[in-house]
Amino acid sequence: MTCGDRRAAEIRGRWGERIARWLLRLKGYRILAAGYRVSVGEIDILARRGRVVAITEVKIRAGLDDAAWSIAPRQRRRIARAAEQYLQGRPDLRDCSIRFDAILVAPWRWPRHIRGAWTME
Protein backbone atom coordinates (compact mmCIF):
# COMPACT_ATOMS: atom_id res chain seq x y z
CA MET A 1 0.00 0.00 0.00
CA THR A 2 1.47 3.33 -1.00
CA CYS A 3 1.34 6.48 1.07
CA GLY A 4 -1.43 7.87 -1.16
CA ASP A 5 -3.49 4.69 -0.81
CA ARG A 6 -3.05 4.74 2.95
CA ARG A 7 -4.13 8.39 3.13
CA ALA A 8 -7.22 7.69 0.99
CA ALA A 9 -8.15 4.74 3.23
CA GLU A 10 -7.76 6.93 6.30
CA ILE A 11 -10.05 9.60 4.81
CA ARG A 12 -12.65 6.94 3.89
CA GLY A 13 -12.41 5.53 7.41
CA ARG A 14 -13.03 8.91 9.04
CA TRP A 15 -15.94 9.53 6.69
CA GLY A 16 -17.48 6.15 7.55
CA GLU A 17 -17.06 6.69 11.29
CA ARG A 18 -18.70 10.11 11.01
CA ILE A 19 -21.70 8.53 9.24
CA ALA A 20 -21.83 5.80 11.91
CA ARG A 21 -21.84 8.35 14.76
CA TRP A 22 -24.73 10.24 13.16
CA LEU A 23 -26.64 7.01 12.62
CA LEU A 24 -26.25 6.11 16.29
CA ARG A 25 -27.30 9.60 17.40
CA LEU A 26 -30.41 9.40 15.22
CA LYS A 27 -31.23 6.09 16.92
CA GLY A 28 -31.02 7.74 20.35
CA TYR A 29 -27.50 6.78 21.39
CA ARG A 30 -25.14 9.14 23.19
CA ILE A 31 -21.56 8.93 21.97
CA LEU A 32 -19.24 8.27 24.92
CA ALA A 33 -15.99 8.07 22.95
CA ALA A 34 -14.77 7.80 19.37
CA GLY A 35 -11.43 6.56 18.15
CA TYR A 36 -10.52 5.17 21.57
CA ARG A 37 -6.99 3.76 21.30
CA VAL A 38 -4.88 1.97 23.89
CA SER A 39 -1.91 -0.38 23.59
CA VAL A 40 -4.12 -3.50 23.60
CA GLY A 41 -6.53 -2.37 20.87
CA GLU A 42 -8.88 0.27 19.61
CA ILE A 43 -12.59 0.95 19.50
CA ASP A 44 -14.18 3.02 16.76
CA ILE A 45 -17.22 4.16 18.77
CA LEU A 46 -18.50 3.66 22.31
CA ALA A 47 -22.14 4.68 22.57
CA ARG A 48 -24.83 4.39 25.20
CA ARG A 49 -28.60 4.17 25.00
CA GLY A 50 -30.36 3.54 28.27
CA ARG A 51 -28.56 0.77 30.12
CA VAL A 52 -26.75 -0.58 27.06
CA VAL A 53 -23.20 0.35 26.08
CA ALA A 54 -22.53 -0.48 22.44
CA ILE A 55 -18.89 -1.15 21.60
CA THR A 56 -19.10 -0.44 17.89
CA GLU A 57 -16.76 -1.40 15.06
CA VAL A 58 -17.21 0.50 11.80
CA LYS A 59 -16.25 -1.19 8.53
CA ILE A 60 -16.14 0.56 5.17
CA ARG A 61 -15.92 -1.66 2.10
CA ALA A 62 -17.15 -1.70 -1.51
CA GLY A 63 -20.09 -3.88 -0.45
CA LEU A 64 -21.91 -4.51 2.82
CA ASP A 65 -21.20 -8.26 2.71
CA ASP A 66 -17.47 -7.60 2.33
CA ALA A 67 -17.64 -5.24 5.30
CA ALA A 68 -19.43 -7.82 7.44
CA TRP A 69 -16.84 -10.52 6.76
CA SER A 70 -13.89 -8.21 7.43
CA ILE A 71 -14.15 -8.28 11.23
CA ALA A 72 -11.73 -11.08 12.05
CA PRO A 73 -11.64 -13.00 15.38
CA ARG A 74 -8.25 -11.48 16.25
CA GLN A 75 -9.66 -7.98 15.78
CA ARG A 76 -12.67 -8.86 17.95
CA ARG A 77 -10.35 -9.92 20.77
CA ARG A 78 -8.39 -6.67 20.51
CA ILE A 79 -11.63 -4.68 20.63
CA ALA A 80 -12.77 -6.65 23.69
CA ARG A 81 -9.47 -5.99 25.50
CA ALA A 82 -9.73 -2.27 24.73
CA ALA A 83 -13.33 -2.30 25.99
CA GLU A 84 -12.25 -3.92 29.26
CA GLN A 85 -9.67 -1.20 29.75
CA TYR A 86 -12.16 1.58 28.95
CA LEU A 87 -14.81 0.17 31.27
CA GLN A 88 -12.35 -0.18 34.17
CA GLY A 89 -12.05 3.59 34.18
CA ARG A 90 -15.83 4.12 34.04
CA PRO A 91 -17.45 2.80 37.25
CA ASP A 92 -20.60 4.72 36.29
CA LEU A 93 -21.17 2.14 33.53
CA ARG A 94 -20.86 -0.88 35.84
CA ASP A 95 -24.61 -1.61 35.79
CA CYS A 96 -24.90 -1.39 32.00
CA SER A 97 -25.10 -4.29 29.58
CA ILE A 98 -22.18 -4.43 27.15
CA ARG A 99 -22.90 -5.26 23.52
CA PHE A 100 -20.57 -5.57 20.53
CA ASP A 101 -22.10 -3.94 17.46
CA ALA A 102 -20.96 -3.35 13.89
CA ILE A 103 -21.91 -0.60 11.48
CA LEU A 104 -21.25 -1.50 7.87
CA VAL A 105 -20.79 1.29 5.35
CA ALA A 106 -20.63 0.97 1.55
CA PRO A 107 -20.88 3.61 -1.17
CA TRP A 108 -24.41 4.49 -2.26
CA ARG A 109 -25.99 2.21 0.37
CA TRP A 110 -27.67 2.95 3.65
CA PRO A 111 -25.35 2.00 6.50
CA ARG A 112 -26.31 -1.22 8.28
CA HIS A 113 -26.26 -1.35 12.10
CA ILE A 114 -25.89 -4.89 13.41
CA ARG A 115 -26.68 -5.08 17.13
CA GLY A 116 -24.89 -7.88 18.90
CA ALA A 117 -22.68 -8.61 15.88
CA TRP A 118 -20.55 -10.87 18.08
CA THR A 119 -20.10 -11.90 21.70
CA MET A 120 -17.03 -12.45 23.81
CA GLU A 121 -17.05 -15.20 26.41
Q: Supply the pLDDT for residue 81.
A: 95
User: Contact at 8 Å (CB) between 54 and 24?
Assistant: yes
Q: Supply the pLDDT for residue 65.
A: 72
Tens digits of per-residue pLDDT, 51-102?
A: 999 999 999 888 777 777 778 889 999 999 999 999 999 999 999 999 999 9
Distances (CA, A) of 121 to 61, 75, 98: 28, 15, 12
Q: Supply the pLDDT for residue 19.
A: 95
pTM of the model: 0.90
**What is the C-alpha separation between 97 and 63, in angstroms, rounded?**
30
- pLDDT of 116 above 90: yes
CATH of the domain at 55: 3.40.1350.10
For 7, the domain range is 3-118
| Domain count across the chain | 1
